[in-house]
Structures are given as C-alpha cells and as structure tokens.
C-alpha cells in the first residue's frame, strides 16, 4: 500500500475558536494557529472559518515521491484534477468537493501507555486500591485522529476516486445500503462512504485508550451539554471498535473510539476475512440505546446544502 496513514483533517466551521476551546478541554493542545494536536502528533485537527460546517481538506501520508507520481497518473487517467509537487500532491474530491493533500512524510508512532491494572476473575492486578477511573485520578487524552465519514450523492464515484485514484483499500462493504469502509493505514477504516442527499461530513473520530477513557471524556461532554450524546456507548460489529458518538459545539458529530481491528496482512484480510454479507441494520454487537437521527445524517443538512450552493459546489 503506497498510502501509510491519515494525518489530519481541516474542519471549517462558523466559530473555530469555540471548537478549539472545546477540544482544549478534552485534552488536545493548540500546537499552532488553528491547529490541534498532541506531543506525539502535533497536527490532528486543523480549524478554519466558514459560514457552514464541512471538511475543507484531508491530509494523507505516503512513503516516496514515486508513490505520488503513480497516484497522479491514476487520477489523471480517470480525469480527476491533480497538482504534483516535490513531496506533495493535491487533488479535489470530485463529488464531495474537499481538498486532498498527500505528503511524503512519516507520522510519529504512538508510544504505548503502560497497561492499566484491572481486576478480573482469577486476576487480582489491583489489590487494596481503587480504580483510577472510579476516583477520576486519570485524565485520558485523545491519542490520535483516526477516521472520517462522508455522505456522498454518488457513492460509486466516490469509492472509485479513493480506491482506484488515491490508492485506498476496501476493508468491508454493506452493499444493501451502499456503505464502503476504506483504509489507508492498518486501521480497519480511515474513511467510510455513505449515501446522502447532499455531500457532507457524517462524523470524525478520535482514538482514546480504552472503554473507561471514552466514558470519562464522553461524560464531560454531556455534563457541558446534556443533549450532546448521539449514540453509545457500545461496540461496533464492522471494525469491532468501542464507540460513543457525540456532538461538538459547531453541531458536528464526532466519535470517541478504541480497540479497532488492525489489518497488517492485506492479502489475508482481502481474501479470507473481508465480507459483503453484513446485516446493514446490525450496527453494534451491544449498545446503550437507540441512536438519534444525527447518526445517519446531520440534522442541519439544509444549512449545509445552502452553504455548498453559496460556495458554488
């Protein structure tokens, strides 16, 4: 796979400073003007101002200039616009309309955090002490930006662009609902393409350490805004990740996730594990309740549609 990782996205929203402060409270650092990250990865979310909410750019990592040349040739062959430079390539998603920038770079590996001491049947790892999660002595922070989900008015064209143009791989598909999970790293998915009446971002996702970390950070969001919870907590079937979907102050849905399937052998996964016979309505193997409509489509889709029209998209 020429592509190696998803670096970050740029979120364009009406009030980026409000969103920046929100993520500062969740543990992301301001590492530059309009840029949020961590000590290990200084750019995970970038923020810009716009009169409607959307992803304006997505950055992806690759290994060599030769990879960029091959990707440029694939895009040109399908008639997609492309600019190629020294160490970078830029293209415009032909359906959704955001910028794609591929850079020759290596993302910093994340050092593992020391395993938490958990008790269990026949396993006494924390005798005579309370869990740090129970007494809130632990302030977990997002480790990295993991994936983004887009609604497309032409899912076939979108998948073609990302797979045959950019070089993403298909991890799983739900043909009955035209949903395709795509990867550019070892994560089960770095992107999901879904059908939508207007091209839009469905949600973006940040990885935390485990179930407790998701719960502690998610509860903070709900305490600030009681109606922020959309769906969760639970565990997905496709991708296997633990999840909690919430709304940010700009009205965008985001996901805290942990424990996603990792694909290190592409041939094994593609030939023996990948499936297209999932029940599209079995979203989670367990979950805490029925999701709100935001889970399927932004409730302000009319505002997004009007913003796209003003932008000439």
List, for residues 217-233, the tens digit of each pLDDT value. 999 999 999 999 999 99
> Of the segments 114-128, 148-162, 282-296, which one has the largest average pLDDT value?
148-162
Query: What pLDDT score was predicted for residue 140?
Result: 87
Count of alpha carbons within 13 angstroms of residue 267, beta-carbon side: 0
pLDDT above 90 covers a percentage of the chain that reads: 86
> Do residues 83 and 69 touch, judged by C-beta distance below 8 A?
no
The closest alpha carbon to 183, from 42, 6, 304, 24, belongs to 6
> Do residues 142 and 28 touch, judged by C-beta distance below 8 A?
yes
Query: What pLDDT score was predicted for residue 100?
Result: 98
- Confidence tier at 98 by pLDDT (50, 70, 90): very high
Query: What pLDDT score was predicted for residue 71?
Result: 97
User: CA-based Rg of the chain, rounded to a whole angstrom?
Assistant: 19
Antiparallel, parallel or unpaired: β 242-247 and 253-258? antiparallel
Q: What is the CATH number of domain 3-108+142-304?
A: 3.10.180.10
Residue located via tokens 């949903």? 179
Q: Hey, how many other C-beta atoms are within 10 angstroms of the C-beta on 176?
A: 12
Query: What pLDDT score was predicted for residue 134?
Result: 86
Query: What pLDDT score was predicted for residue 1?
Result: 56
Query: What pLDDT score was predicted for residue 310?
Result: 95
- As a whole number of angstroms, the distance between CA 208 and CA 270 comes to 27
DSSP SS3 for 220: helix
- Confidence tier at 61 by pLDDT (50, 70, 90): very high
**pTM for the model:** 0.95
pLDDT above 90 for 113: no
Read off φ and ψ for residue 194, nearest 5 degrees.
Answer: -125, 155
> Do residues 253 and 294 touch, judged by C-beta distance below 8 A?
yes
Query: What pLDDT score was predicted for residue 111?
Result: 87
pLDDT above 80 for 262: yes
Query: What pLDDT score was predicted for residue 95?
Result: 97
Q: Hey, how many other C-beta atoms are within 10 angstroms of the C-beta on 21?
A: 13
What are the tokens at 117? 């001491």
Query: What pLDDT score was predicted for residue 132?
Result: 86
Q: Hey, how many other C-beta atoms are within 10 angstroms of the C-beta on 172?
A: 23
Comparing 138 with 257, the larger pLDDT belongs to 257
CA distances from 239 to 1, 191, 225, 256 (A): 19, 12, 29, 14
What are the tokens at 141? 């922070």
292-311 as b/e: b if 16+ CB within 10 A: eebbebbebeeebbebbeee
- As a whole number of angstroms, the distance between CA 174 and CA 270 comes to 15
> Do residues 207 and 262 touch, judged by C-beta distance below 8 A?
no
Range in 5-14, 79-88, 103-112 the model is least confident about: 103-112
- As a whole number of angstroms, the distance between CA 51 and CA 308 comes to 10
Where in 19-98 does DSSP place strands (E)?
29-32, 35-37, 45-49, 54-62, 82-85, 88-92
Residue 136, sorted as left (phi over 0), alpha (psi -120 to 50) or beta, turns out to be: left
The closest alpha carbon to 259, from 272, 277, 274, 244, belongs to 244
Count of alpha carbons within 13 angstroms of residue 164, beta-carbon side: 11
- As a whole number of angstroms, the distance between CA 172 and CA 157 comes to 17
Q: What is the mean pLDDT of residues 177-200?
A: 97
């Amino acid at each position: 796979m020429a592509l190696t990782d998803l670096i970050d996205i740029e979120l364009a929203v009406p009030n980026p400073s409000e969103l920046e402060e929100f993520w500062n409270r969740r543990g992301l650092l301001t590492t530059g003007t309009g840029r949020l990250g961590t000590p290990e990865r200084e750019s995970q979310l970038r923020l810009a101002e716009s009169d409607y909410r959307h992803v304006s750019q997505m950055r992806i990592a690759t290994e060599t200039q030769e990879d960029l040349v091959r990707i440029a040739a694939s895009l040109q062959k399908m008639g997609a616009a492309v600019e190629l430079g020294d160490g970078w390539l830029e293209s415009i998603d032909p359906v959704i309309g955001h910028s794609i920038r591929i850079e020759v770079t290596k993302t910093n590996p994340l050092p593992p955090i020391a395993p938490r001491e958990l008790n269990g049947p026949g396993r006494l790892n924390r005798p005579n002490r309370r869990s740090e999660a129970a007494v809130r002595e632990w302030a977990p922070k997002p480790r990295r930006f993991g994936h983004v989900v887009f609604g497309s008015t032409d899912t076939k064209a979108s998948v073609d662009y990302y797979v045959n143009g950019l070089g993403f791989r298909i991890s799983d598909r739900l043909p009955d609902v035209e949903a395709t999970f795509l990867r550019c790293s070892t994560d089960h998915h770095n992107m999901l393409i879904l059908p939508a009446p207007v091209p839009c971002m469905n949600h973006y996702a940040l990885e935390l350490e485990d179930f407790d970390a998701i719960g502690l950070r998610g509860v903070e969001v709900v305490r600030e805004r009681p109606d922020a919870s959309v769906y969760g907590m639970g565990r997905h079937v496709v991708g296997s990740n633990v999840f909690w979907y919430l709304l940010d102050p700009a009205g965008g849905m985001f996901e805290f996730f942990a424990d996603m399937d990792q694909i290190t052998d592409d041939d094994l996964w593609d030939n023996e594990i990948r499936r297209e016979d999932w029940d599209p309505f079995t979203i989670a193997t367990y979950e805490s309740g029925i999701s709100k409509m935001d889970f399927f489509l932004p409730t302000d889709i009319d505002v997004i549609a009007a913003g796209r029209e003003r932008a000439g998209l």
